[in-house]
Amino acid sequence: MAWENFIDDLKIQIDIVDVIGREVNLKKSGSNYMGLCPFHSEKTPSFSVNEEKQFYHCFGCGESGDVIKFVQNYYKLSFMESVEKLAADYGIRMPERHSGGPRIDYNKYYEINAKAARFFYNSLGRGGGAKGLAYLKSRGLTKETITKFGLGYAPDSGYELTKHLIDEGVSEDDIIKLGLANRGRNGLYDRFRDRVMFPIINTHDKVIGFGGRAIGDIKPKYLNSAESEIFLKKNNLFGLNFGKRAIADENRAIIVEGYMDVISLYQAGIHNVTASLGTALTDNQARLLCRYSKNIVLSYDSDQAGINAALRGISVVSGAGGKPRVMTVTDGKDPDEFVKKHGKEAFLRLADNAVPATDFRLKLAAEGMDLTDDRQILEYVEKVVPVLRSLGPVEQDIYVRRLSSQLGVSENAIMMAVRTEEQGSRTPQSARMSRREIRGSRSGHQSRQQQDAGSISGRIEMSMLVLAMNNIRYIRRFTEDGIRFRSALANKILSVMDSFGDELSAGVHRIEIDDIAAALEPDEERIFRGIAESIQIGPDDEAFYRELKDGYMINQYREELAEVRNELAVAEKIGHEDEVIKLLGRQMELDKLINNLTEVNNAG
């Protein structure tokens, strides 16, 4: 039975999508993830992974099972070897075993903690525990809430819990192992003394540890159980046992800092709430929470420590596949104080207005900066480039357009700054944003031609034309490589270049900008000259062209990918399974093509 408990806990802490996703390229499809089956050869994805049920199934070969079964079959391991591998990969402590089976009886430890929880609960309001009850009532908690969360009191004598457990037949070694007591020169003494006690309960409704809040002047103010065979802080969240159903039903979880925040919000009728166990949010906690909902609202204090915690939370939740947002509790209060003063609906409005993680990071980067000053705009863009780089292509495009409008800087200039950061010194100087580009791109309303030329694809086209001006053999290369310009201005300039055919055949290798400008309208000439002057090709024409061509192809693939995703959403909605599988296959191909080109550029 004890081993079964460990296996259940192991499967709770590990997400099957994460495990399989390390070996199989999985893509979201409806409520499942799809990929090419690792157990038989196929060209279209028929391998499905269900995150909610933590189960996989291949519609092609029929292979199916849970996360342990996958590891067994994929790595050709025994059941026990698979469990050991998973535990080692995810840093989960395994129980000690001998040849006859597991040595640790987890149920025994759960029962000991349950005895301790009942002792603390019964001590509340009795004798010295009256001050514990008075404290909880002063925090606005009702009798029903105190009972719901099993809150209690640890007497200040220093030995009452230990004596009670020994009288109940619990060994001293087990009391110490569970972090309920320490051993001193005169025997055991209670770890928790003169504290309000908060039982920490896992998602199987087992008491795994305790948190204690000092009532008097003893230090530390907050004290958790020492980690034990059944209690690892990084793998558990406070209140999730009560909140998991509401989190799943509402498809949103709110993470707060303190135990009292969770309890007060729950009492106010906000049940989709949980808290980390006195530490920064961990990867395992985020993965566990994302089982119930990917939508995570982070509520932290507005001081520097709270901001740092929010930034770490954003990173951890995003890494677990979640969608983090950050809420700000007004009046400088924590959720506990706010909900008591303003009520449930006011708090929920704050949660509804939580900003996406990217908005939070961009706003934070802008604090203290004058974004009407060119120099500070440069500094700001440099600060937010890492944020933009961390986004997917669609989200990146949204925020680049938003920043362009906010700062009065062209989308192209910002994207070139992102590419410069990605490729370092390998990126042509044309990609670097200068003050001149900022001033030029902030000159007011842009014409359609300016917008086309300043877009990512427009910038690539103009860069290719400048390259062809300096080395006319690339005009022929455009045709050979299937390069098709989109903007009217680029096609007009290319047509002008083609009109120099006689001169080109006579051995001319360069076309002067003045010769091209003579065939353009004044506005067209101004746009082309402005861009051409900012582009520096460098010593290697071919390397510059390859980089431009890769950028061109990536842009083409991303546009097709957006179309495929739209078609896929429609096919899923109307239930065309054959079309879904075909589109999933193309989506995977496009992702691979984009990734390959990106890796080539980064490696170059």
Task: Check residues 501 and 467 and name the one with the higher pLDDT.
Answer: 467
Banded model confidence at residue 443, pLDDT cuts 50, 70, 90: very low
Residue 433 has pLDDT above 60, yes or no: no
pLDDT at position 501: 58
For 267-284, the pLDDT digits (tens) are 999 999 999 987 788 888
pLDDT at position 101: 47
Mean pLDDT for the stretch of residues 473-480: 85
Q: What single-letter amino acid sits at 264?
A: S
Residue 284 makes CB contacts below 8 A (sequence gap 6+) with 13, 90, 91, 234, 235
Mean pLDDT for the stretch of residues 195-201: 96
Identify which of 203, 201, 198, 177 has the alpha carbon closest to the alpha carbon of residue 188.
Answer: 177
Residue 155 has pLDDT above 70, yes or no: yes
Contact 430, 534 (CB under 8 A): yes
DSSP symbols for 238-289: BTHHHHHHHHHHHT-EEEES-HHHHHHHHHTT--SEEE-SSS---HHHHHHH
Residue 420 has pLDDT above 70, yes or no: no
Residue 539 has pLDDT above 70, yes or no: yes
Output the average pLDDT for the chain. Answer: 83
Q: Would you call 569 helix, strand, or coil by DSSP?
A: helix
pLDDT at position 496: 82
Distance in angstroms (rounded) separating the CA atoms of residues 211 and 226: 10
The residue length of the chain stands at 604
Residue 102 has pLDDT above 60, yes or no: no
Banded model confidence at residue 430, pLDDT cuts 50, 70, 90: very low
The conformation of residue 575, written as its DSSP 8-state character, comes to: T
Residue 3 has pLDDT above 60, yes or no: no
CB atoms within 10 A of CB 50: 14
Distance in angstroms (rounded) separating the CA atoms of residues 90 and 571: 37
Residue 331 has pLDDT above 80, yes or no: no
Percent of the chain at pLDDT exceeding 90 = 33
Banded model confidence at residue 106, pLDDT cuts 50, 70, 90: confident
pTM of the model: 0.60
Residue 309 has pLDDT above 70, yes or no: yes
pLDDT at position 133: 95
**Residue owning tokens 């200040």:** 156
Torsion over CA: 241, 246, 252, 257 (sign)? negative
Range with the poorest average pLDDT among 77-81, 425-429, 527-531: 425-429
Banded model confidence at residue 288, pLDDT cuts 50, 70, 90: confident
Identify which of 560, 212, 571 has the alpha carbon closest to the alpha carbon of residue 393.
Answer: 560
Range with the poorest average pLDDT among 341-350, 360-369, 383-392, 561-570: 561-570
Where does residue 30 fall: left (phi above 0), alpha (psi -120 to 50 degrees), or beta otherwise?
left
Range with the poorest average pLDDT among 145-159, 201-215, 442-456, 459-473: 442-456
Banded model confidence at residue 508, pLDDT cuts 50, 70, 90: low
Residue 579 has pLDDT above 90, yes or no: no
For 13-43, the pLDDT digits (tens) are 888 998 998 888 888 887 789 999 999 888 8
Range with the poorest average pLDDT among 190-194, 331-335, 420-424, 443-447: 443-447
Q: What single-letter amino acid sits at 258?
A: G
Mean pLDDT for the stretch of residues 542-568: 83
